[in-house]
């Protein structure tokens, strides 16, 4: 398989990242030092009720108490969070005069913490800031601690919230929303149940694949994404099967982070576009809906960049020796299907209780995210969208 020795030079590339990423076992205990480095003495933990009962919040509170830092807790984050939760949390942050915001949890908690830290210094409501670079001054400093290995939200610019008025996910994207510090402690991900491990791990794989093949990709995104793809293919089966395997968890947390850095630079594509509607209409997790659509969109997309899809197959451990480029690219779709089978995610919409009669609803929902078709390696018409969903039944 030939590898390009040079990157495209006629493009200007941007790379966004936190100031500091700490990766390692038990690094959550360093959170107090990080708050102090950011000049804080009073901090708020933004999280969900599940992490309070699981004891994770106590772990962070204890580390902060040891460093003599005052702590407040906002634990009202819910999955696929509605926008008003950001505004509610920001109000508590402002009124409590907190100096540093700590996000602890999955993508929802991390997004709400980023949004609240920004809204603590801006007037109005989070939905007033939908779009790109809409904030005009820094928010409060943020420390993000993921407890799943998937979203990469700990390193990205985006805050994704549900707008209850039209049931559409809205994105606020600002380089000012990138956290100052991300703490990646694999010990916090050991108790993730197998289905959550599978769903979030597949979300990370979708980030890596979409940013790798995006027409807006950058050298930074390509380098990080292909390694994330390799790590996920080799570690997700074990993390799923044996959740206490720290090596598998460490590598999944690292790869989700690399994939987050990659899509923060290279963008996403049609998998995310076509799965948002499944998430909101059928209350399915973001990762699972992405996982279901991934092989179908890849099958459609592969003609748009045969070489890269061939390299994805190779990175996922497929033997591509002696194959034509067409055959090797096809293997990438097979590799993803094998991985989905291994982590027991059926990739047929009909297996998830979605009826064929719902096709017009899916197509309409998919078309609402057409902004994500722009970076996709193959152009999509409404007819193409319908065909992809049809093949996914
Ligand atoms: Fe995602």
Report CA(232)–ligand 1 centroid distance (Å).
15
pLDDT at residue 297 greater than cutoff 90: yes
Radius of gyration of the chain (CA): 20
Q: How far from the centroid of its chain's Cα atoms is residue 229's Cα?
A: 14
The pairing of beta strand 20-23 with beta strand 70-74 = unpaired
Report CA(108)–ligand 1 centroid distance (Å).
11
Alpha helices, DSSP H, located in 103-165: 107-119
167: helix, strand or coil: coil
Report CA(267)–ligand 1 centroid distance (Å).
11
Q: How confident is the model at residue 2 (pLDDT cuts 50, 70, 90)?
A: low
Report CA(71)–ligand 1 centroid distance (Å).
30
Report CA(143)–ligand 1 centroid distance (Å).
20
Report CA(69)–ligand 1 centroid distance (Å).
33
Q: How many residues does the chain have?
A: 393
Report CA(99)–ligand 1 centroid distance (Å).
29
Report CA(272)–ligand 1 centroid distance (Å).
7
Q: How far from the centroid of its chain's Cα atoms is residue 203's Cα?
A: 6
CB 310, CB 329: distance < 8 Å: yes
Alpha helices, DSSP H, located in 214-368: 219-241, 246-266, 270-282, 286-301, 306-315, 325-342, 359-367
Report CA(117)–ligand 1 centroid distance (Å).
21
Report CA(278)–ligand 1 centroid distance (Å).
13
pTM listed for this prediction = 0.95
- Per-residue pLDDT of 34-59, as tens digits, reads 999 999 999 999 999 999 999 999 99
The Cα-based distances of 97 to 16, 88, 100, 123, 350 in angstroms read: 28, 14, 9, 16, 50
Report CA(259)–ligand 1 centroid distance (Å).
10
Structure tokens at 16: 């966004």
CB 173, CB 133: distance < 8 Å: yes
pLDDT at residue 10 greater than cutoff 70: yes
What number of other Cβ atoms are within 10 A of residue 25's Cβ?
Answer: 12
pLDDT at residue 4 greater than cutoff 70: no
E-assigned strand segments in 84-236: 100-105, 131-132, 142-146, 158-163, 168-173, 181-184
Report CA(161)–ligand 1 centroid distance (Å).
13
Rounded Cα–Cα distance for residues 24 and 28 (Å): 9
Rounded Cα–Cα distance for residues 286 and 272 (Å): 9
Phi first, then psi, for residue 22 (nearest 5°) are -110, 125
Report CA(202)–ligand 1 centroid distance (Å).
9
Report CA(293)–ligand 1 centroid distance (Å).
12
pLDDT of residue 80: 84
Give the max Cα distance, the chain: 65
- Per-residue pLDDT of 331-361, as tens digits, reads 999 999 999 999 999 999 999 999 999 999 9
pLDDT of residue 136: 93
Report CA(384)–ligand 1 centroid distance (Å).
22
- Per-residue pLDDT of 113-128, as tens digits, reads 999 999 999 999 999 9
Report CA(204)–ligand 1 centroid distance (Å).
7
Report CA(339)–ligand 1 centroid distance (Å).
18
pLDDT of residue 238: 98
pLDDT of residue 9: 84
Q: How confident is the model at residue 64 (pLDDT cuts 50, 70, 90)?
A: very high
Report CA(39)–ligand 1 centroid distance (Å).
32
Q: What angle do CA 318, 324, 327 make, to 5 degrees?
A: 55
CB 15, CB 323: distance < 8 Å: no
Report CA(287)–ligand 1 centroid distance (Å).
6
Q: How confident is the model at residue 253 (pLDDT cuts 50, 70, 90)?
A: very high
Report CA(271)–ligand 1 centroid distance (Å).
9
128 contact partners, CB below 8 Å, separation of at least 6: 134
Report CA(160)–ligand 1 centroid distance (Å).
10
For range 276-289, the mean pLDDT = 90
């Amino acid at each position: 398989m030939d590898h390009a020795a040079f990157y495209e030079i006629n493009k200007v590339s941007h790379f966004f990242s936190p100031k500091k990423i700490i990766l390692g076992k038990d690094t959550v205990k360093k959170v107090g030092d990080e708050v102090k480095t950011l000049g804080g003495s009073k901090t708020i933990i933004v999280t969900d009720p599940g992490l309070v009962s699981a004891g994770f919040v106590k772990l962070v509170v204890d580390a902060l108490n040891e460093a003599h830092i005052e702590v407040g807790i906002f634990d009202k984050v819910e999955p696929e969070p509605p926008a008003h939760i950001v505004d509610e949390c920001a109000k508590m942050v402002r009124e409590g005069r907190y100096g540093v915001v700590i996000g602890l949890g999955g993508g929802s908690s991390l997004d709400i913490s980023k949004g609240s830290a920004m809204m603590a210094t801006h007037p109005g409501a989070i939905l007033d800031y939908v779009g790109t670079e809409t904030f005009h001054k820094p928010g409060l400093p943020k420390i993000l601690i993921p407890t799943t290995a998937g979203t990469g939200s700990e390193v990205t610019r985006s805050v994704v919230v549900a707008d209850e008025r039209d049931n559409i996910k809205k994105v606020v994207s600002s380089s000012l929303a990138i956290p100052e510090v991300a703490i990646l402690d694999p010990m916090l991900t050991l108790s993730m149940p197998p289905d959550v491990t599978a769903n979030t791990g597949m979300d990370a794989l979708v980030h890596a694949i979409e940013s790798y093949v995006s027409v807006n990709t950058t050298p930074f995104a390509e380098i990080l994404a292909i390694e994330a793809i390799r790590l996920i293919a080799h570690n997700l089966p074990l993390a799923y099967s044996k959740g206490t395997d720290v090596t598998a968890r460490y590598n999944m947390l690292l790869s989700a982070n690399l994939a987050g850095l990659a899509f923060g630079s290279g963008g996403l594509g049609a998998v995310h576009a076509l799965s948002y509607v499944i998430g909101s209409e059928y209350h399915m997790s973001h990762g699972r809906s992405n996982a279901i659509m991934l092989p179908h969109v890849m099958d459609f997309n592969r003609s748009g960049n045969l070489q890269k899809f061939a390299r994805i197959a190779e990175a996922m451990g497929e033997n591509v020796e002696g194959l034509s480029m067409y055959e090797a690219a096809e293997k990438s779709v097979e590799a993803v299907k094998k991985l989905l089978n291994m982590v027991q995610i059926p990739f047929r919409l009909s297996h998830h209780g979605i009826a064929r009669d719902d096709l017009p609803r899916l197509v309409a929902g998919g078309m609402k995210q057409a902004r994500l078709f722009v970076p996709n390696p193959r152009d999509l018409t409404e007819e193409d969208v319908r065909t992809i969903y049809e093949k996914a039944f």
